[in-house]
Amino acid sequence: MRSSLLLAAAPLILLAGCATAPPQVVQTADAPILSPYGRFLAGEAALNEGRSAAAAKYFDQARTLTGNDALVSERAFTAALLAGDIDRAAALAPSGDQDSESTKRLGKLTVAVKAIADGRGKDAYALLAGDQIAFPHKAAAALLAPWAAAEVGDVDNSLVRPEARGDRIVAYFGGLGQALLYERARRFDEAETDYKAALSAGARNETATVAYGAFLERRGRRADAQALYDAALAQEPSSVAVKAARARVAAGKSAPPAPTIKQGAALALLTPAAMMTSAKQTQFALAYLRLALKLDPERDEAWVMVGDLMSSGNDNVSARLAYGMVKPGSLEFAAAQSKLAWTYQNAGDKETALKLARAAAAAGQEEGRLTLADLLRADEKFAESADILSSLIKDRKTPDWRLLYARGVAYHRIGRWPEAETDLKAALVAQPDEPELLNYLGYSWIDRGEHLKEAMGMVEKAVASDPRSGAMVDSLGWAYFRLGDFKKATEKLEEAVELDAGDPEINNHLGDAYWKVGRRDEALFQWRRVLTLNPDDKIKADAEAKIASPAGPDRPVQKLAEH
């Protein structure tokens, strides 16, 4: 994981100007002991790889050995925060003249969150109110301040609407937080006004719907809550949170309690965490999530978000730990198990991945079933994947084109072409300009010698929509090959290889095209190259057969004019 603004760019000038020297190592009988500078570099490497706990250890050792060097201390604070050791991070929060302003502001936010967690709302509010915590952490401070005021019974300041100049997200979620705090203050009419305003704003309609519906349930207005949930599900029938709320009302179960102070403060931090994730500021996002989990360790949504960040940084161990924190029975459990399964699939452990995906699918939530269908398709278990997709399509009044497309691919791979074609055409009706659909159906028709003029136009349209896709340019090149235009096929397949040099199928196709235009040595080179690119068994066998045969590829060719 690369450094973001959080670690921006101080030069590595440490320890009496030895930045250009290699780490000094003192060898012992057991293991080498890194110098302070070596520990610092080890911490930098660990932090940039997303191994926050290891980074915290190295930086803390370097900080002790250097006597609190400013840059080392900043890194030690950062690593402790990202590792989730909020108590340690708060103790290390930078505040000196040599520390960067950005990190000092994050340090103040960390100290404030620890104060809320410890029940010291007055101390937290003193840090969060006003302009002590400015950009880029102003939004987080503004959303937290009312909850700090509420913790010490300061009703007036708890009901001040959070503001961050020009920040619509703060305005929206500040209003939703204000609604919760009005309800806490038993000012129900004002609370309902804010809930309705948040619902009409629609920035995250699901969040506002669930919050307002829970308020109505707590007020004994179950029929109103049910109507609200029904209206939301009519617009987005797959919403797990709204479906769960609707089922709760229908079953006559108790309304969910209003959030506690700490829970409300944790919820407030999820918004800036999501904002930072969208802005690709992943370390800031992770810092906010760790702070939220300090306030509410049971916040499953935050654990899933932590897992996502760790997974995106290829830290599967940390991702699995985070996904594993989500409890069975939670609304996020199926999603967490599904994502956990993919960490094993991507690491090559298909057996564990399928085991986890089957368990997630058994919970009945759509995301878990989708993940199982996707994993089965990835493992070439197409018939079982198609069966699961069929059940998902049946559950929807209006099938999602993506489900139809996925089932069409699965049917195609098991030889059920008429059903595949029906699904692909239906998906294309729903999404007529989708490049993937145009490419797949168009190429399939060309491969079968059907609807050739229409199919060629579809593939060309797909490439025009996504000209940097090696796979789509390959489809166009292979279409020319199947139509007998080997010169154009060679040109397009060379372009496809340039776009995606490591794809074994594209290289295999280019070898065939070279052979057909008389470039036999280049064809043999391409087929041999295929064998170095980890091809699947089918492509490997095809390339080996062509290398061994003096006749080269035996490919059927269609003629456009004949159709």
266: helix, coil or strand?
helix
- Assess whether 1 and 87 both reside in one domain: yes
pLDDT band at residue 165 under the 50/70/90 scheme: low
179 within a domain of the structure (yes/no): yes
Q: Is residue 77 packed enough to be buried (19+ CB in 10 Å), middle (13-18) or exposed (0-12)?
A: buried
pLDDT band at residue 536 under the 50/70/90 scheme: confident
Average pLDDT, the chain: 87
pLDDT of the residue at 16: 26
Give the range of the structural domain holding residue 48, as residue numbers without chain letter.
1-99
Q: Is the pLDDT of residue 432 over 50?
A: yes
Q: What does the buried/exposed string (b/e) look like for 24-35 if buried means 16 or more CB atoms within 10 Å of the residue's CB?
A: eeeeeeeeeebb
- Assess whether 211 and 246 both reside in one domain: yes
Of 252, 281, 296, the residue at which a domain comes to its end is 296
Q: Determine which of 85-99, 199-213, 400-414, 522-536 has the lowest per-residue pLDDT on average.
A: 199-213
Overall average pLDDT of the 297-318 stretch = 93
Overall average pLDDT of the 281-297 stretch = 96
Q: Give residue 336's Cα distance to chain centre.
A: 12
- Assess whether 71 and 146 both reside in one domain: no
Helices (H), 280-400: 282-295, 300-312, 316-323, 333-346, 350-362, 366-378, 382-395
pLDDT of the residue at 187: 97
- The closest of 443, 499, 440, 445 to 467, measured between CA atoms, is 499
Task: Count how many Cα atoms sit within 13 Å of the Cα of residue 204 in the half-sphere of its side chain.
Answer: 19
440 within a domain of the structure (yes/no): no
Overall average pLDDT of the 48-57 stretch = 74
Overall average pLDDT of the 405-412 stretch = 97
Return the number of other C-beta atoms located less than 10 Å from residue 551's C-beta. 8
- Assess whether 239 and 125 both reside in one domain: yes
Backbone φ and ψ for 400, nearest 5 degrees, come out as -75, 135
Q: Is the pLDDT of residue 25 over 70?
A: no
pLDDT of the residue at 142: 94
Overall average pLDDT of the 307-323 stretch = 91
- Assess whether 46 and 126 both reside in one domain: no
- Assess whether 14 and 139 both reside in one domain: no
C-alpha distances (whole Å) from 409 to each of 342, 443, 460, 469, 531 are 20, 12, 20, 19, 26
pLDDT band at residue 67 under the 50/70/90 scheme: low
pLDDT of the residue at 51: 78
Backbone φ and ψ for 152, nearest 5 degrees, come out as -105, 15
- To the nearest whole percent, how much of the chain has pLDDT over 70? 90
73 within a domain of the structure (yes/no): yes
Q: Is the pLDDT of residue 237 over 90?
A: no
Q: Is the pLDDT of residue 256 over 50?
A: yes
- Assess whether 56 and 44 both reside in one domain: yes
Q: Is the pLDDT of residue 282 over 60?
A: yes
Of 99, 120, 143, the residue at which a domain comes to its end is 99
What is the full DSSP assignment across 392-447?
HHHH-SS--HHHHHHHHHHHHHTT-HHHHHHHHHHHHHHSTT-HHHHHHHHHHHHH
Q: Is the pLDDT of residue 191 over 90?
A: yes
pLDDT band at residue 87 under the 50/70/90 scheme: very high
11 within a domain of the structure (yes/no): yes
Element (H, E) at 32: strand 32-34
91 within a domain of the structure (yes/no): yes
Q: Is the pLDDT of residue 3 over 80?
A: no
* 31 or 325, which is more confident: 325
Q: Determine which of 67-76, 411-420, 497-506 has the lowest per-residue pLDDT on average.
A: 67-76
What residues are paired with 26 via a beta bridge? Answer: 33
Return the number of other C-beta atoms located less than 10 Å from residue 415's C-beta. 8
Q: Is the pLDDT of residue 126 over 80?
A: yes
pLDDT of the residue at 1: 29
Q: Determine which of 15-19, 214-218, 242-246, 449-453 has the lowest per-residue pLDDT on average.
A: 15-19
pLDDT of the residue at 68: 63
133 within a domain of the structure (yes/no): yes
Q: Residues near 430 by Cβ (< 8 Å), separated by ≥ 6? A: 401, 404
Overall average pLDDT of the 419-428 stretch = 97
Q: Is the pLDDT of residue 24 over 50?
A: no
Say if strands 32-34 and 25-27 run parallel, antiparallel, or are unpaired: antiparallel
Q: Is the pLDDT of residue 331 over 80?
A: yes
C-alpha distances (whole Å) from 44 to each of 1, 9, 47, 93, 450 are 11, 12, 5, 18, 58
Of 296, 325, 352, the residue at which a domain comes to its end is 296
Q: Is the pLDDT of residue 6 over 70?
A: no
pLDDT in tens, 169-184: 787 888 999 999 999 9
53 neighbors 290 (Cβ within 8 angstroms): no
pLDDT in tens, 491-516: 999 999 999 999 999 999 999 999 99
- Assess whether 244 and 188 both reside in one domain: yes
Overall average pLDDT of the 72-89 stretch = 90
pTM of the model: 0.78
Q: Determine which of 15-29, 368-382, 388-402 has the lowest per-residue pLDDT on average.
A: 15-29
**What span, in angstroms and rounded, lies between the C-alpha atoms of 469 and 492?**
12
**What span, in angstroms and rounded, lies between the C-alpha atoms of 91 and 106?**
13
pLDDT of the residue at 204: 52
- The closest of 475, 485, 471 to 444, measured between CA atoms, is 475
pLDDT of the residue at 74: 85
pLDDT of the residue at 457: 93
- Assess whether 175 and 152 both reside in one domain: yes
C-alpha distances (whole Å) from 493 to each of 201, 489, 507 are 49, 6, 8
**What span, in angstroms and rounded, lies between the C-alpha atoms of 412 and 108?**
58
346 within a domain of the structure (yes/no): no
Q: What does the buried/exposed string (b/e) look like for 227-249 if buried means 16 or more CB atoms within 10 Å of the residue's CB?
A: ebbeebbeeeeebebbbebbebb
pLDDT band at residue 110 under the 50/70/90 scheme: very high
C-alpha distances (whole Å) from 172 to each of 178, 180, 203, 318 are 10, 13, 7, 32
- Assess whether 17 and 158 both reside in one domain: no
312 within a domain of the structure (yes/no): no
pLDDT in tens, 194-219: 999 988 875 457 889 999 999 999 99
pLDDT of the residue at 147: 98
- Assess whether 66 and 108 both reside in one domain: no
Residues written for the chain: 563
- Assess whether 289 and 217 both reside in one domain: yes
Overall average pLDDT of the 131-152 stretch = 94
pLDDT band at residue 554 under the 50/70/90 scheme: low
Q: Give how many domains the chain has, as a whole number.
A: 2
**CATH number of the domain enclosing 278:** 1.25.40
